[in-house]
Amino acid sequence: MRKLRTQRAIAVLASVLLVGGVAACGNSDTGGGGSKDDGKITMGFSQVGAESGWRTANTTSIKESAAAAGIDLKFDDAQQKQENQIKAIRNYIQQKVDVIAFSPVVESGWDTVLKEAKDAGIPVILTDRSVDSADKSLYKTFLGSDFVKEGRLAGEWLVEQKKGATGPVNIVELQGNTGAAPANDRKKGFGEAIAANPNLKIIASQPGDFTRAGGKQVMEQFLKANPKIDVLFAHNDDMGLGALEAITAAGKVPGKDITIITVDAVKDGMQALADGKFNFIAECSPLLGPQLMDLAKKVHAGEEVPARIETEETTFTQEQAKEALPNRKY
């Protein structure tokens, strides 16, 4: 084990010496987390991808906040692949960044690479999505939403709307990418809430990968296979927006023939809600950048930070969307 670690240390040192000039990262620190010549904190960030309006707003927030906080940001887009995120994190470890932050595309399978970061003395901050690692010492904090709550709020709204229903209410569900925390948790919260009324039944549930194309394609299949669909619960706005096309093409009126509930509340989703095509949105804020940069500074300074920091969120009806839309920033 020790031999292995020594070999790795030599390999890391050699690659740092080799790429040092090219990468111009200005590292002169002794050991992970040390300070730089210019005094700037370097953050290595691995983003899920660019799959949705939410993600685009999140990326903008992170880049702008890093610049405003004077943090040197190294940014990598993993294109929705866990292997790319692991590769990016390993690169950041090699480069001896001060802090690593990432939004894990799926919940499982992070222990090994997180342990490598820990062994290198580089603190890790989870942002947006969490991991299911049992060892909580592998990361400093998790900043993000309560996805179970978002699903529950969506479900509770539906229970209230359908409280007078005397027959079955058929629900179809568009899930986020398989294994992602927001997909698992929104499904859970929604399912628990609608259990309050046995008339509410999920008759089909499939991943649409959080994308418009995925939402459209899966909704087309749902519509073909199920003559009576009363409600669509989409785990994000983008899938709901994609589904709108499939619903209209099938000759149905979205927001009327089919009640549509989504999560996120990005501008396009809010517009659909204000236009009466969606019926309800549980908000999920992508503006995590400022808090993330604050946390990075604290963690770098060795300060204690809370293990969990929850984003504040609300919900929107059609009327509320009309009011909120003019001031919506993303």
Cα gap 302→57, rounded to integer Å: 30
222-281 residues in contact with ligand GYE (CB under 6 A) are 236, 238, 263-264
Strand order across the 200-207 sheet: 200-207, 169-175, 231-234, 259-264, 280-283, 315-316
Instruction: Identify the sign of the CA torsion 55, 282, 128, 291.
Output: positive
Q: Which residue has the tokens 């989703």?
A: 269
Q: Report the amino acid identity of residue 275.
A: D
Site string for ligand GYE, 177-206 (x = CB under 6 A): -----x------------------------
26's torsion region: left (phi>0), alpha (psi -120 to 50) or beta?
left
What SS3 class is residue 128? coil
Of residues 186 and 300, the one with the C-beta less far from ligand GYE? 186
> Which one of 8-16, 47-55, 200-208, 294-302 is the stretch in contact with ligand GYE (CB under 6 A)?
47-55
CB of 129 to ligand GYE, least distance (A): 5
What sign does the dihedral 189-284-241-49 (CA atoms) show?
negative
Q: In the set 51, 98, 156, 185, which binds ligand GYE (CB under 6 A)?
A: 51
Which of 96, 129, 140, 152 is close enough to bind ligand GYE by CB under 6 A?
129
C-beta of residue 245 within 8 angstroms of C-beta of residue 296: no
> Which helix (H) or strand (E) element contains residue 253?
none
DSSP state of 325: G
Site string for ligand GYE, 68-107 (x = CB under 6 A): ----------------------------------------
128 binds ligand GYE per the rule CB under 6 A: yes
Piece of 46-54, 223-231, 299-307, 314-322 that binds ligand GYE (CB under 6 A): 46-54
When the beta carbons of 144 and 191 are compared against ligand GYE, the nearer one is 144
Residues in touch with ligand GYE (CB under 6 A): 51-52, 54-55, 128-129, 182, 210, 236, 238, 263-264, 284
